[in-house]
Amino acid sequence: MATLEVLGFGENGWGALLLVAAGVTLAVTAAALAIGAVLGTIVAAAKLSHSRLLNFLGHLYTTIFRGVPELLIIYLIYFGGSSAVTAVGKAMGYQGFLGLPSFLAGAFAVGVISGSYQAEVFRGAYLAISKGELEAASAIGMHRGLRLRRIIMPQVLRYALPGISNVWQLSLKDSALVSVTGLAELMRTSQVAAGSTRQYFLFFVVGGCLYLILTSLSDQIFNRAERRANRSMPSAMGQV
Amino acid sequence: KDWKTVTITLEGAYAPWNMTNADGTLGGFEPELAKVLCERAKVECKLVASDWDGMIPALNAGKFDMIMDALSITEDRKKVIDFTIPYAATPAGFATAKDSPLANAAGTGTEVHMDVGQTGVKEVEAMKEAFKGKTIGIQAATVYSKFVYDNFGKDSTIREYKTGADRDLDLQNGRIDLGFDDTVYFASAIEAAKGELVYTGPDIVGPIWGAGEGLGVRKSDTDLRDMFSEAIKSALADGTVKKLSEKWFKIDVSPR
Amino acid sequence: MDFAFLSETTMTLLAAVPTTLALFSLSVAIGGLLALLIVWMRVGGNPVLSAFAKGYIFVFRGSPLLIQMFLVFYGLAQFKVIRDGPLWPLLREPFVCAVLSLALCTAGYSAEIFRGGIRSVSPREIEAARSIGMSGFLLVRRIIAPIAFRYALPSYSTEVVLMMKSTSLASLVTVWEVTGVAQRLISHSYRTMEVFLCAAIIYLILNFIVLQAMALLERSLSKHLRAPPVKP
Amino acid sequence: MPGVTRLSVRDIRKSFGAHEVLSGISLEAQDGDVISVLGASGSGKSTFLRCINLLEIADAGEIWVDGEQIRMIHGSGRSRPASQKQVDHIRSELGMVFQSFNLWSHMTILQNIIEGPVHVLKRPRAEAVSEAEALLEKVGIADKRHVYPAHLSGGQQQRAAIARALAMKPKVMLFDEPTSALDPELVGEVLRVMRALAEEGMTMLVVTHEMSFARNVSNRVVFMREGLVECTGTPDEMFGDGASPAFRQFIGHFAN
Amino acid sequence: MPGVTRLSVRDIRKSFGAHEVLSGISLEAQDGDVISVLGASGSGKSTFLRCINLLEIADAGEIWVDGEQIRMIHGSGRSRPASQKQVDHIRSELGMVFQSFNLWSHMTILQNIIEGPVHVLKRPRAEAVSEAEALLEKVGIADKRHVYPAHLSGGQQQRAAIARALAMKPKVMLFDEPTSALDPELVGEVLRVMRALAEEGMTMLVVTHEMSFARNVSNRVVFMREGLVECTGTPDEMFGDGASPAFRQFIGHFAN
Ligand SMILES: Nc1ncnc2c1ncn2[C@@H]1O[C@H](COP(=O)(O)OP(=O)(O)OP(=O)(O)O)[C@@H](O)[C@H]1O
Ligand SMILES: Nc1ncnc2c1ncn2[C@@H]1O[C@H](COP(=O)(O)OP(=O)(O)OP(=O)(O)O)[C@@H](O)[C@H]1O
Ligand SMILES: [Mg+2]
Ligand SMILES: [Mg+2]
């Protein structure tokens, strides 16, 4: 059957390309999540600090990157970033193009967006830590750094996990927009395959299914992590 | 600058101009022509697929050196980039569903020549009458939108699609009555639709569509532009373009 | 800075704001109602409905909206039954399809958010209601829904903002809202940065207003959580 | 009308999985009875109370409230009440006061109190409000009527919860350790209100650890152990010399 | 070494905004002293304890722990300790047990107990573990060492919290209502442990509502009222006839 051949791994099959593209999507999302974790931690710390200026900057960051469509942010970072890097290169006497590689630009753009969501997740998680437990840490003479490392971080991670799993999901889909940088991730490869073979529906449905597979795989991983993290929590209350 | 390697970008999803094969390589009219042109310009060429939306900004940012993606030479575009001489000039026309009452409109199969800004052409007036109240789909931001809006905007509904492929799907689905695009593109769409779509009305040719399709280059790279213009000239002269065109499009799109 | 160009661009983009707002408000309203239906199926106790709701949520949360929209608009119309069906006059319209796919997508997300809200209602407060003889819809209407909605509100605000941004995909199905118009402007002028900056500012303002409204709602619904008024 | 049987429970059994928590409990309360239920933690006191107003469904046994039997379906597997309507009605006749107050956090105290009369009993709002204010006066928190539960002390919350239950004009009041979530200093406020209710002749079933209440206020004491009524009698009988050794050990525990 | 002054507090004052909570409190604890601090709700007992280990910073006054004075900077506006290092050191010498246990929820009981010795005192892990197990044995929850706090009863949690404080080998233990978050039946477990500590000669400062503990275990009772020490003495003096009328009224409240 023609469909099988087009999707297979043979000479005329797109199977291999689609699988590679799914891998690229996964890689972009994972890199974005990592970048976002760093940015999110910094922004959350700024929003929780007592400095008005830092509060304001943190607020500005989350407002902008949650309020502007992802596509626009990706464009602005990709082209803006490339122009900036090239300009710097020119100033230092380097001729020619120094643009961000599309993988890096894409991951960074999605990471910046993901950071704005992660900041909120981390902030909420921090606020969920029992004040009494922090006092108990102070009361045995733990200094700030120790308290942060031994009491705050592990609990923030635990409370943040469900939120992070949501952000992962968002980033997975934001990564579809990275196709404008020409990166051959799942969305773009589906589009290219559709345009080249003119089998539009086939490839959109297949692309959608691959996204669903990625989703369910990552769901499983997060569920396992949550179960692990929640060992120490009281068992769930009764249902509605 | 001493050009040894040149990076050329194309979409890789605009069959038959350019497309991606299942093994990830690029194929189609333009990749094959590019090979010829690069040989003649004595440079090493690298073909890179990228998204249509970002192509021109990326060219100017320096990510690529040339664009070869059925890019029509227009005044608007000339404000931001430069072009070689055209390597193709395609007619444009309407297509509709096979069993539509609009099929076989007057003049189907003939050619009408139009100049820039020309109005009141008799064949066009006839189509205007025939297509009254219908919905026409075009690809957004192409050279055809001005023509369609100027001539059909008053009497028909015009709907703009992001890609020609989307428009063709709606044409088959019956959401719109007519599509307007370049006939070379339609030829392959009609083939892919297994005869569900047909041309209707005359093909429109001439300077109204600008000079044709050329390679886009940065304004600063006049040397590169001239090298490739020379290469195109020679490929046109010895019939290479005609040969490739007939291979991929079934017709000759060499600019006349 | 080319102010003439910027102001012209801004005017063109502003003309598309009503389209964006119409897409946004209709899809949030319809999606919200749909979400209520789905969350009812999800927690209602009927295993078949619950499985259906689970599947729905999985599919619509797990795949990109772009693909969903494509399949709703171009895919549904492939079937002759639909083209000849009674709904075709509606489904034929790009605007209807755009709203439909946006609403279907947000319904999946919102259903999960509402479910989270319901789960955080204290079982004890529900028990107290049962013990005075409340059950069924009365219990939901008077006790569960108000408390759950209050808990769900922060996440729901986020989802509403996401919706505003998601409308930017509607140009795929020929509904030319702000982002689509911006892209079209770019393909005429090739001035990517300027045009996108104007669009970004428009979205920021729209979302700021939406968030402000949600915050106001949240404030008015959380009287019971605020510190008591200090008496002199 | 003393002598009327307000509540009658016959041979109630309840298991959670393999663990039998209630192994056949019977109890009868006449109009005006104040019955204290004592017992160690885990002896099934809460479960017993929750079975009476059907927050848990007993596996076997009969429950009569004010002469009306609750119809049950003891099928294979789980038992369930035959009619949700009857359950709602019965529950509205049994006032329940929980250890943890369980006021509705999104309503003010007044709203909490009129909720049942207005929405379950369908009484006119104005009437419900004026009755609620009388009740608030009675439990001594009239000045807090427009305050949300989170802003009250535990003792005040518990008194509001009692008012909420009274507003339904119940035939019997069920209390599940109404003072054990309170600081020692707040216990007094709540006990005072309960004592006043007892003096007015309200029929009450009180699970408590407050020996002074059991001894001085109630007219009957029931001691539960491992899902059974170990012994029962008047306070004088029970706290005198006649009680079972297990009970004496139990109260001895509280003496120091 | 009886007679050594473990803790000395001189004329501590503390206001929250305009509200003066502590108006000059002094207290001295020799080695082996068990001091009960009584007082009505809001009299400033918790604030006093929190000032001693610097969870609140007193506005004025001196605090000496085991002969070492805590250096403070009483500048304009807010006071603050001169050296965070000293604060951490002092705190590690004062064991604090909170009303609400405050065990770290992400660690098992054993991990909770060795946390301080290993990470604050930098003791070898193996040593800390074996000492922790001895402590768990002592407070009677050795079998729960690998359980998370959320899965323990309140009484067990509080005993774990005491073990955690003891693991730091503190010079003085501070208890803030260690039993008032517990069900009546669980109180006994915790009081038993505290009684044993007192018998071993641990210096303790105990805010409590348990009159039996104040009377039978402590060797001194301090009664606070409105931010001042209203009266103090041995239990015999205080619970005899000599005490102030305010204290008699206070304990009278607990009698019924
Ligand atoms: N929903 C339930 N599922 C399983 N076991 C339960 C459930 N509710 C109660 N139990 C068990 O039933 C037994 C009796 O519980 P119950 O709450 O009735 O005791 P109680 O006498 O009220 O004790 P306490 O004085 O501590 O409140 C306990 O062993 C408890 O673990
Ligand atoms: N952080 C704070 N900010 C403002 N006021 C406070 C603060 N902490 C305590 N107070 C006030 O100080 C007073 C004394 O509080 P404290 O907790 O010391 O009393 P307490 O004697 O421990 O009472 P209880 O027996 O209820 O625990 C109270 O009126 C309280 O409202
Ligand atoms: Mg109980
Ligand atoms: Mg206190």
Tens-place pLDDT, residues D7-49: 999 999 999 888 899 999 999 999 999 999 998 888 899 999 9
Give percent of chain C above pLDDT 70.
97
Check if the beta carbon of residue D155 is closer than 8 Å to that of residue D190: yes
DSSP label at residue D242: -
Check if the beta carbon of residue B125 is closer than 8 Å to that of residue B154: no
In three state form, how does the secondary structure of B143-177 look?
CHHHHHHHHHCCCCEEEEECCHHHHHHHHHHCCCC
Q: In what order do the strands lie in the sheet with B197-205?
A: B111-113, B197-205, B92-97, B178-182, B135-139, B157-161
Residue A237 pLDDT class (50, 70, 90 cuts): very low
Q: How far apart are CA C128 and CA D151, in angstroms?
A: 19
The CB density around residue B94, as the number of other CB atoms within 10 Å, is: 28
Do the two chains B and C touch, given a threshold of 8 Å on CB pairs and at least 3 pairs? Answer: yes
Query: Quick one: CA torsion of C171, C173, C175, C176, rounded to 10 degrees?
Result: 30
In three state form, how does the secondary structure of C123-155 look?
HHHHHHHHHCCCCHHHHHHHHHHHHHHHHHHHH
Task: Tell me the average pLDDT across A163-169.
Answer: 90
In three state form, how does the secondary structure of C208-231 look?
HHHHHHHHHHHHHHCHHHCCCCCC
Give percent of chain E above pLDDT 90.
55
Task: Tell me the average pLDDT across B179-193.
Answer: 85
Cβ separation A17–B24 shorter than 8 A: yes
Q: How far apart are CA C180 and CA A223, in angstroms?
A: 38
At position C144, the amino acid (one-letter code) is I
Both tokens of residue C90?
Answer: 């509606």
Task: Tell me the average pLDDT across B100-120.
Answer: 82
Cβ separation A86–B54 shorter than 8 A: no
At position B74, the amino acid (one-letter code) is T
Q: Tell how far the Cα of E239 is from the centroid of ligand 1, in angstroms.
A: 39
What is the set of domains in chain D, with CATH numbers?
5-253 (3.40.50.300)
User: What are B159's strand-pairing partners?
Assistant: B137
Q: Tell how far the Cα of D185 is from the centroid of ligand 4, in angstroms.
A: 13
User: What are D15's strand-pairing partners?
Assistant: D20
In chain D, what residues touch C223 (CB-CB under 8 Å)? 148
Helix (H, G, I), strand (E, B) or coil at C57: helix
In chain A, what residues touch C123 (CB-CB under 8 Å)? 237-238, 240
Query: Chains with ≥3 Cβ pairs under 8 A against D?
Result: C, E
Write down the pLDDT at residue D189. 84
* Residue A240 predicted with pLDDT over 60: no
Average pLDDT, chain E: 89
* Residue E78 predicted with pLDDT over 90: no
Cβ separation A176–C192 shorter than 8 A: no
Q: Tell how far the Cα of D46 is from the centroid of ligand 3, in angstroms.
A: 4
Do the two chains B and D touch, given a threshold of 8 Å on CB pairs and at least 3 pairs? Answer: no
Q: Which CATH number is associated with domain C3-223?
A: 1.10.3720.10
Write down the pLDDT at residue E34. 94
Nearest residue on chain B to A17, alpha-carbon basis: B24
* Residue B136 predicted with pLDDT over 90: yes
Cβ separation A180–B12 shorter than 8 A: no
Write down the pLDDT at residue E212. 86
Give percent of chain A above pLDDT 70.
90
* Residue D173 predicted with pLDDT over 80: yes
pLDDT tens per residue, range B32-54: 999 999 998 889 989 988 887 77
Q: Quick check: bond before B16 cis, omega within 30?
A: yes
In chain D, what residues touch E188 (CB-CB under 8 Å)? 253
* Residue C231 predicted with pLDDT over 60: no
Write down the pLDDT at residue A97. 58
What is the set of domains in chain A, with CATH numbers?
3-237 (1.10.3720.10)
For tokens 């082996």, name the residue: E32
Q: Residues 59 to 118 of C: which have CB under 8 A from any A CB? A: 59, 61-68, 70-71, 74-75, 78, 118
Q: Which helix (H) or strand (E) holds A82?
A: helix A81-91
* Residue B153 predicted with pLDDT over 70: yes
Instruction: Say whether residue E103 is in contact with chain A using an 8 A CB cutoff.
Output: yes
pLDDT tens per residue, range A52-92: 999 999 999 998 998 898 888 888 888 777 777 777 777 77
Cβ separation B22–A17 shorter than 8 A: yes
E108-139 as b/e: b if 16+ CB within 10 A: bbbbbbbbbbbbbeebeeeebbebbbebbebb
Check if the beta carbon of residue C94 is closer than 8 Å to that of residue C111: no
User: What are D226's strand-pairing partners?
Assistant: none
* Residue C46 predicted with pLDDT over 80: yes
Q: Tell how far the Cα of E46 is from the centroid of ligand 4, in angstroms.
A: 4
Which atom of ligand 1 is least distant from the CA of D56? 1
Check if the beta carbon of residue A203 is closer than 8 Å to that of residue B169: no
Query: Chains with ≥3 Cβ pairs under 8 A against C?
Result: A, B, D
Q: Residues 27 to 56 of A: which have CB under 8 A from any C CB? A: none
Check if the beta carbon of residue B119 is closer than 8 Å to that of residue B65: no
Write down the pLDDT at residue C83. 83
Do the two chains D and A touch, given a threshold of 8 Å on CB pairs and at least 3 pairs? Answer: no
In total, chain D counts a number of residues equal to 256
CB nearest to C146's CB, from D96, D106, D150:
D106
Residues framing ligand 1 (Cβ under 6 A): D 16, 21, 39, 41-47
* Residue A126 predicted with pLDDT over 60: yes
Write down the pLDDT at residue C122. 87
Cβ separation A150–E148 shorter than 8 A: no
Task: Tell me the average pLDDT across E58-64.
Answer: 91
Query: Quick one: CA torsion of B243, B244, B250, B252, rounded to 10 degrees?
Result: -60
Q: How far apart are CA E8 and CA C12, in angstroms?
A: 76
Cβ separation E104–A158 shorter than 8 A: no
pLDDT tens per residue, range D44-63: 999 999 999 899 999 889 99
Both tokens of residue B47?
Answer: 């073909």
Cβ separation A198–B15 shorter than 8 A: yes
Pick the residue whose CA is nearest to atom 8 on ligand 2: E47
In three state form, how does the secondary structure of D145-181 look?
CCCCHHHCCHHHHHHHHHHHHHCCCCCEEEEECCCCC
In chain A, what residues touch C74 (CB-CB under 8 Å)? 200-201
Instruction: Say whether residue D163 is in contact with chain C using an 8 A CB cutoff.
Output: no
User: Does E21 sit in the ligand 2 pocket, CB within 6 Å?
Assistant: yes
Nearest CA of chain A to the CA of C17: how many Å?
Answer: 14
pLDDT tens per residue, range B213-246: 899 999 988 999 999 999 999 888 888 889 988 8
Give percent of chain B above pLDDT 90.
16
In chain A, what residues touch C43 (CB-CB under 8 Å)? 239-240
Average pLDDT, chain B: 86
Ligand 2 pocket check: which of E38, E47, E225 to mutate, most ligand atoms within 8 Å of Cβ? E47
Cβ separation C131–D89 shorter than 8 A: no
pLDDT tens per residue, range A129-160: 888 899 999 988 888 899 999 999 989 988 89
In chain D, what residues touch E254 (CB-CB under 8 Å)? 184
Q: How far apart are CA D207 and CA D235, in angstroms?
A: 15
* Residue A95 predicted with pLDDT over 80: no
Task: Tell me the average pLDDT across B80-88.
Answer: 90
User: What are D38's strand-pairing partners?
Assistant: D223
In chain A, what residues touch B23 (CB-CB under 8 Å)? 11, 17
In chain E, what residues touch D212 (CB-CB under 8 Å)? 256
CA distances from A67 to A60, A178, C104, C196, D141 (A): 10, 18, 22, 14, 47
Give percent of chain D above pLDDT 90.
54
Both tokens of residue C152?
Answer: 């769900």
Both tokens of residue A144?
Answer: 């700030």
Q: How far apart are CA C176 and CA C171, in angstroms?
A: 5
Write down the pLDDT at residue D97. 93
Residue E52 pLDDT class (50, 70, 90 cuts): very high
Nearest residue on chain A to E97, alpha-carbon basis: A136
CB nearest to C196's CB, from A72, A169, A240:
A72
Report the Cα B158 to chain-centroid distance in Å: 20
Write down the pLDDT at residue B1. 66
* Residue C184 predicted with pLDDT over 50: yes
Write down the pLDDT at residue E176. 93
Write down the pLDDT at residue E2. 56
Instruction: Say whether residue C176 is in contact with chain B using an 8 A CB cutoff.
Output: yes
Write down the pLDDT at residue E256. 45
For tokens 């968002």, name the residue: A170
Nearest residue on chain A to E148, alpha-carbon basis: A232
Write down the pLDDT at residue D254. 63
pLDDT tens per residue, range C78-132: 888 888 888 888 888 899 999 999 999 999 999 999 998 998 888 889 999 998 8
DSSP string, C195-208: HHHHHHHHHHHHHH
Task: Tell me the average pLDDT across D201-227.
Answer: 90
Write down the pLDDT at residue D251. 78
Give percent of chain E above pLDDT 70.
96
Q: Which of A134, A140, A152 to mutate to test the interface with E (most CBs of E within 10 A)?
A: A140
Q: How far apart are CA B21 and CA C83, in angstroms?
A: 34
Task: Tell me the average pLDDT across D76-100.
Answer: 87
Q: How far apart are CA B74 and CA E114, in angstroms?
A: 76
User: Does E42 sit in the ligand 2 pocket, CB within 6 Å?
Assistant: yes
pLDDT tens per residue, range A4-59: 677 776 667 788 889 999 999 999 999 999 999 999 999 999 999 999 999 999 99
User: Does E47 sit in the ligand 2 pocket, CB within 6 Å?
Assistant: yes
Which atom of ligand 1 is least distant from the CA of D99? 27
Strand segments, DSSP code E, in E40-114 are 60-65, 68-69, 72-73, 80-81, 94-97
